[in-house]
Structures are given as structure tokens and as C-alpha cells.
Amino acid sequence: MNQAAGDGSIGAGYRHEQSRQFADHMLALPRQDFRPQRQAFEPLEIPKLLPRIIIRAREANGEYRYRLLGTELQSYMGHDPTGKLVTVGVGERAAGPIQETMNRMMDHPCGLRCVTTFIDGKGRTALLEYVSFPLSGASPAQQISHVAILERDADMNPTEATEAQRLHEIEGIDLGAGVADFSGITW
């Protein structure tokens, strides 16, 4: 598992071109407290990336809920999870580590790139690359991600439930405050 810290989009090991484009866009935004400013994010500047965007809100108790999910991801998941807890749909084994990863990214403001496998009930898999950033100026606190589908079994039914099976790579993206320690996070 790669856990090296990246320095902006140049140092990160993006596997998908859209992941790099999203990171470049977010890194170019003005920042407050090291985080890209929410009000500076203009969706119309990245129209091709919007169908794979996720915005999550951090509740007062520290849990994350989906605030927005792009249309392609809704189709892929087979439903719109807006308002639901993020950790509910990832499987019991991954829920805690995913929560911890999101907390570390938010508490030590840095971006994050990870590659993980999701599996459905019939053993069909998809390999996904997430690129995420904490946002400033949003209440409640929010983070934004782009999800690139790197590989997917051809007969995988997008309406079936899937869960996170394995974390392959994780690395921080420095926003000026260094990167959080993601070592020891696995599922």
C-alpha cells in the first residue's frame, strides 16, 4: 500500500486523468486555514467532472452524511444516498477506517487520494480512485471528492449493494499544513 505524502497534484500518484484535473482545480482555489474555500468552488468550471462529485457534511457528533452525489455516482449506486450516513453503505469492516480517514483529513487540513475495491454480493468488483479535499467556509464542515472508476466487472449491476473490500493506496495531498498520518489505516 502506497502511503507516501504527495506535494500537490504533481507529486500525487493519480491513476485517472479526471482525478488529476479535479485535484488541479481544487488546488488552484483560494484557501482559508489551508482549505479550499467553498464559495470559490464553481461547479460550472468543471462540468465534465460533476457527475462523479461527492459532497459530505460533518455533523456535530463527527459522523458524515452525503450532502450531494453526482448523477453518474447515483446511477452507479442505484439510488440517491443524499442525507444518509456515509459509513452505512461501505460495509462493517471499512466503516471505522473510512470515518477515521475523513476525520484525519479534516482535522489536519490536507487532501487525500485513495484507491479502493468495492465488491457486490456476487463477488463482482470495481476499483475506484477517490480524491478528496476539506472545504473552508461551509457550515456544517464539508469535504468534496471526485470518484474515478478505474476498473469494473462488465456484468456488475449498479443497483446491487456493494461494500468497500480493500484499500490499495492512500496518500495525503499537502495544502500547506503538511499531511495527516494515514499510516495504519486499512480495510
Domains with residue ranges and CATH for the chain = 8-39+49-173 (3.30.450.20)
Tens digits of per-residue pLDDT, 141-170? 999 999 999 999 888 776 777 889 999 999
| 171/169 Cα distance (integer angstroms) | 7
Place of cell 481544487: 26
Percentage of the chain exceeding pLDDT 90: 75
What pLDDT shows up at residue 96? 95
End-to-end CA distance of the chain: 11
- Segment 51-66 shows an average pLDDT of 96
Give the CA radius of gyration of the chain: 15
CA distances from residue 69 to 91, 99, 187 in whole angstroms, order as listed: 19, 18, 23
Which uninterrupted H or E stretch holds 77?
helix 71-77
Residues 6+ apart with CB under 8 A from 30: 36, 37, 40
What pLDDT shows up at residue 186? 94
- Segment 105-119 shows an average pLDDT of 96
Q: What is the DSSP pairing of strand 53-58 with strand 125-135?
A: unpaired
Tens digits of per-residue pLDDT, 13-53? 999 999 999 999 999 999 999 999 999 999 999 999 999 99
The model's pTM: 0.91
